[in-house]
Chains A and B, each alone.
Chain A
C-alpha cells in the first residue's frame, strides 16, 4: 500500500512540480511536447510519469495525472484523472472527471465530465453527465449520458479541464512500480 506521500517522493519528484506549472520538461518527443499546457487541474498533486509502470488499484479523492503504463483499477471518488499523451491505461476508471489524452482500455465513469482529446484513444464504454470529444479522438465503445445534459458544447471552446478537488489522499495500493 502506497500513500500519497510515497507517490510524490518516490515516483515523481521533479516532474510533478514541472507538471503543475503546465510545462513538463526533459524530453523532445512529440508526445512530450504535446503535453505542454496539459489540460489538468492545477491542483493535481499526484503524478505518475512515463518511466513508471504500475499494476494495481488506485483509490483516493484527489486529482491524479497518469502519463505512463498502468494496469488495474482507478477509483478517484471526488478527484479528476488525467491520462497524459504517454499514458497507456488498462483499467476501469471511476472519477469525478476524466481527461484522456493517451490510451485507455477499459470502462470510464466520469461522474461529472469526460473529455477525450485529439490524441485520446479509448476502447471501452463511457458513462458520464457531460462528454466532450475533440476531433481526432478515437472511441470504440458505448456512450451513456446519465442526465438530460448530454454533450457539453460550451466546454468545447474552453478546452480545459476544470477539475479540482479538496483534501483527501491519493493512494496506490497493491501495486508494483519500477523505474
Chain B
C-alpha cells in the first residue's frame, strides 16, 4: 500500500485509530475524584493512558535560557495540552500550537488517497512521491509563520518520527522562524522506542510522559553527529542524557 505501509502507517490506522477516541479531561493537576464529569463528556471514553513523570534538566535549562524574555513567543509542536499551554501562558508567553506529528500522519493518509486517484489518470498527472517532493508538499501546508516569529520552540521528539528528508527540511524552516538567540528544545531516543509517548510540562523541572497509541512509528535513531549536522546553523548545543534512553537537547540560534 505505498509509502504509508513503508512508514508503518496503514490506512486502517487512519482517521479511526484509537488516537482519535475522545478522552476525558484528566490533566495531571486535577484530582481524580469519583464524581463523574457531567453528561457533558459524551458517551465514549477511552481507556486510561499510562502516565509517568520524569525530571527534565533540558526543560530547566530551556526555561533558564528564556528568563527575562518578558512576553516571548513560543511555538509548541506537540499536542495542545492544557498544562503545557497554561504553564507558558502564565509565564507571559504568547503560545502557538501545532501538532505537527498528527499533521504529518493526516498528510500521509491524504497523499495515499491522492495516489490512488492519480493511479487511474494519465502518467503526466502522476503525483511525485519522492521523499523530497513529499517533504516540500507537507511543509508548504504547515509551519506557515513569518520569519523570526518565535523566541522558543518545543520540538519534543518529533524528528525521530518524521522521514529524514522531512526532518532535515523542517529544521531548516524552524531555524528561519526562530529569532537570533532563540532556543529549541528537542528530544531524541537513543534507541528505537518500543512504544509511543507524548510529553507535557508539569512544572519547571519535570515533564509528564504519556504512553499513547502509536500515531506514527519511529523512523530513525539519530546519532550525535547527525544531530549536530541537522542543527548546524545553531551556535550552541547542549544535551542531557536520561536513563530512559531519551536525550534532551537544547539548541540556541
Contact = CB atoms under 8 A, between A and B. Distances in A.
Tell me if chain B binds chain A: yes
Interface of A: 22, 30, 33-39, 85, 116-119, 131-145, 150-151, 153, 156-161
B129 to A, nearest CB: 25
B95 A161 contact: no
A131 B83 CA distance: 11
B90 A150 contact: yes
Nearest to A115: B40
Interface of B: 20-27, 29-31, 33, 37-44, 46, 79-82, 85-86, 89-90, 94-99, 102-103
Given A33-B43, A117-B22, A118-B23, 17 more contacts: A34-B42, A37-B41, A37-B42, A85-B42, A116-B80, A117-B42, A118-B24, A134-B22, A136-B46, A138-B99, A140-B103, A150-B89, A151-B90, A153-B27, A156-B30, A157-B31, A160-B38
A119 B21 CA distance: 8
Q: Please name the 9 residue pairs, one residue from A and one from B, whose CB atoms are nearest each other, closest first.
A: A37-B39, A118-B22, A39-B40, A139-B80, A159-B37, A151-B86, A34-B42, A133-B82, A142-B96
Contacts, number: 117
A137 B40 CA distance: 15
Contacts of B79: 138
Contact of B40 (A136, A144, A160): A160
Nearest to A126: B97
B40 A135 contact: no
